[in-house]
Structure 1
Amino acid sequence: MNTYADSESRRDARDRPAIPAYGPIDALLGFVMFYVLVDRATPTFVDVIPTVLPSVSPSLVRLGLALALWFVFVVTSIDQIRRQLAALGVITHDAITPSSRRRGTPTETEALLYLVLALVGGTVAAWTFDRGIETAVSLIPVVVTIDVTAFVPEDFAVMVVFFLSFGVASYALDRLLIGGLRATFAE
């Protein structure tokens, strides 16, 4: 094979429009995590909010949480649609610049880095999932009632590690899978 021709075809592939845009897998995983958190926190909210605001019924608290889920879903969906349209060049989006539309597929080194980040971040997130979610839910009464004596710094640190590792893993997985789709479309 001619090395010059191979490098030319790679450069041409990297100069093609980058379709699909990065972000949908990261957004989907983020929404699923938000749903899990709201699902687990709903009983706590239903118990705590009426003690602070007695005129608020538990059914109204549940309705508010359901509306929050739908709001986040709609806003996330609209943002992802705008990102994909911006990648096509139909509209503009702050996260999609003309130069990033032409970026193409990730290099092998970038793909390997994203794979390692996805595996390490996913493993740490899996190890800390239960404790991280439990801590997030247990912080609701602490924040609502301003009871700092119930705050446990070690649990808070685990929760921060969980959300950071989950964020890194979902970002890396998005880059890895969307980059793979881009490479498939580029051929």
Structure 2
Amino acid sequence: MSAANDSSHRSDTGSELAFPAYGPIDAALGYGLFYLVVDRATPTIVAVFTEVLPDVSPSLIGLGLAMLLWVVLLVTVLDQLRRQLAALGIVTHAAVRPRRSGRSRPSVGRLLLSLAVATVGGLIAAWTYDPALEAVVSLIRVVEVADIDVLVPTEVGLLLVFFVSFEIAARSVDKLVIGGLRALLGG
């Protein structure tokens, strides 16, 4: 009898929960990139801060960066946990809303589009990865000298191309994997 009530409630509202929620793959890839950027930029950040603030220990600056990585990881994990709980209907999250019946499972065409976009975005991101990380280090040095005239527009453009293509690829991979899971789970 309770199963009949549950099914009638679902048809009355016309919506269903979309589980798993989109976002964990995108968040993991984004955090991984953040980690790599901080790792690559740490020596430059330490050098800049020790020149600007000579009384501050380089190890203290390194510790601050390590703590930043842990705080960002904690916030990312908690946000993704909340998203998944919202997809189950336990809590609410602005990014997770009930879907109209039948729309939480992506079509094959949408999954193939996600695959194509992930491939193109991933190739562009891979091609621009090393130059973009070098551009990040260069931008930190620009902050050190406090002179915007040393800013190289091609480096900024390359950095933008990398981050946009990376985010497009990460979202597409997330949609592909989570959409595939939804299709397998019948959601």
TM-score range for the pair, normalised by the shorter chain length: 0.7 to 0.9
CA distance in 2, matches of 1:149, 1:46: 23
Q: Structure 1: which 5+ runs fail to align?
A: 1-11
CA contact (8 A) 1:26 1:173 kept: yes
Moved more, 96-105 or 61-70: 96-105
CA contact (8 A) 2:24 2:80 kept: yes
Change (3 A) 1:55 1:91: same
**Which residue of 2 is the match for residue 48 of structure 1?**
48
**Which residue of 2 is the match for residue 74 of structure 1?**
74
What amino acid is the match of 1:91? V
**Which residue of 2 is the match for residue 124 of structure 1?**
124
**Which residue of 1 is the match for residue 108 of structure 2?**
108
CA contact (8 A) 1:142 1:151 kept: yes
Change (3 A) 1:124 1:100: farther
Q: Taking every aligned residue pair, what percent have the same amino acid on both sides?
A: 52
**Which residue of 2 is the match for residue 92 of structure 1?**
92
TM-score by length of 1: 0.88
**Which residue of 2 is the match for residue 62 of structure 1?**
62
Q: Structure 2: which 5+ runs fail to align?
A: 1-10
- Structure 1 position 158 matched with structure 2 position 158: yes
Deviations 1:33-59 (A, max 9, x none): 000000000000111111111221101
TM-score by length of 2: 0.88
CA distance in 2, matches of 1:142, 1:27: 29
Deviations 1:54-109 (A, max 9, x none): 22110111011001100100000000000000000000001112237974211122
CA distance in 1, matches of 2:100, 2:136: 36
Instruction: Using the TM superposition, give the Cα deviation of residue 116 of structure 1 relative to its aligned residue in structure 2, in angstroms.
Output: 1.1
CA distance in 1, matches of 2:101, 2:52: 49
CA distance in 1, matches of 2:126, 2:111: 22
How many residues align? The count is 175
**Which residue of 2 is the match for residue 6 of structure 1?**
none
CA contact (8 A) 2:18 2:98 kept: no
CA distance in 1, matches of 2:70, 2:101: 30
**Which residue of 2 is the match for residue 29 of structure 1?**
29
RMSD of the alignment, in Å? 2.0
Moved more, 70-79 or 16-25: 16-25
What amino acid is the match of 2:137? V
Deviations 1:132-182 (A, max 9, x none): 111011101212431223211011101110000000000000000000011
SS of the residue corresponding to residue 97 of structure 1 reads: coil
